[in-house]
Amino acid sequence: MSGDARGSVSVVIPVFNEEVNVPQLLPRLFAVLDTLDRPYEVICVDDGSRDRSLDLLRELLGRYPERLRIVELSRNFGQHPAILAGFALTTGDVVVTLDADLQNPPEEIPKLLALTDQGFDVVGGVRQTRRDSLFRRAASRLVNRVTMAITGIRMTDYGCMLRAYSREVIDLVNRCEESS
Ligand code: UDP
Ligand code: MG
């Protein structure tokens, strides 16, 4: 991707058994990215899906050959290893992560980029009206507290994977041997 004043964007999406969501998400995502007027690539990492996700991604590759790249993992490694596999291939000046299950609206991406353009290294989305159970939300609150205590990094929602990272952060993550 060639450079632009505000830089190019890579979007990384881990995909595990998302056959229902993939055909909806990608056209919606491309529509948003097309409005940005900056170079972009979308990297979908199939994390050993056992449904038709990979077939559907391959079909979409035929439709969007210039904008889409697919990584096929040999088995199911989990969400975070899948994202790291995608990070290793990114070329963008900014890297956005997005869940494939439509819980992270792609329409929010421009807001994240507005902040990375201002120089922020990590920008995280926050889930406002979660449709998860009370138990699930209480568990998230606990995880947020513990994560804050361990890392010393203050984020409102460590579980929301709609995020944007600067190239500097991605390069550091890619150089890190350890995955936690
Ligand atoms: N995912 C993955 N590997 C897995 C489980 C999930 O790549 O083993 C992907 C999944 O397709 C989705 C994202 O990671 O894009 C988040 O998964 P999920 O919605 O299950 O997590 P939650 O929203 O509960 O955090
Ligand atoms: Mg989810």
Residues 6+ apart with CB under 8 A from 178: none
Average pLDDT over residues 93-102: 97
**pLDDT confidence of 2, banded at 50, 70, 90?**
very low
Per-residue model confidence (pLDDT) at position 5: 56
Per-residue pLDDT reduced to its tens digit, 9-51? 999 999 999 999 999 999 999 999 999 999 999 999 999 999 9
93 lines ligand 1 (CB under 6 A): no
pLDDT exceeds 60 at position 86: yes
Distance 98 CA to ligand 1 centre (A): 10
144 lines ligand 1 (CB under 6 A): no
Per-residue pLDDT reduced to its tens digit, 108-137? 999 999 999 999 999 999 888 777 888 888
103 lines ligand 1 (CB under 6 A): yes
98 lines ligand 1 (CB under 6 A): no
Distance 3 CA to ligand 2 centre (A): 33
pTM equals 0.90
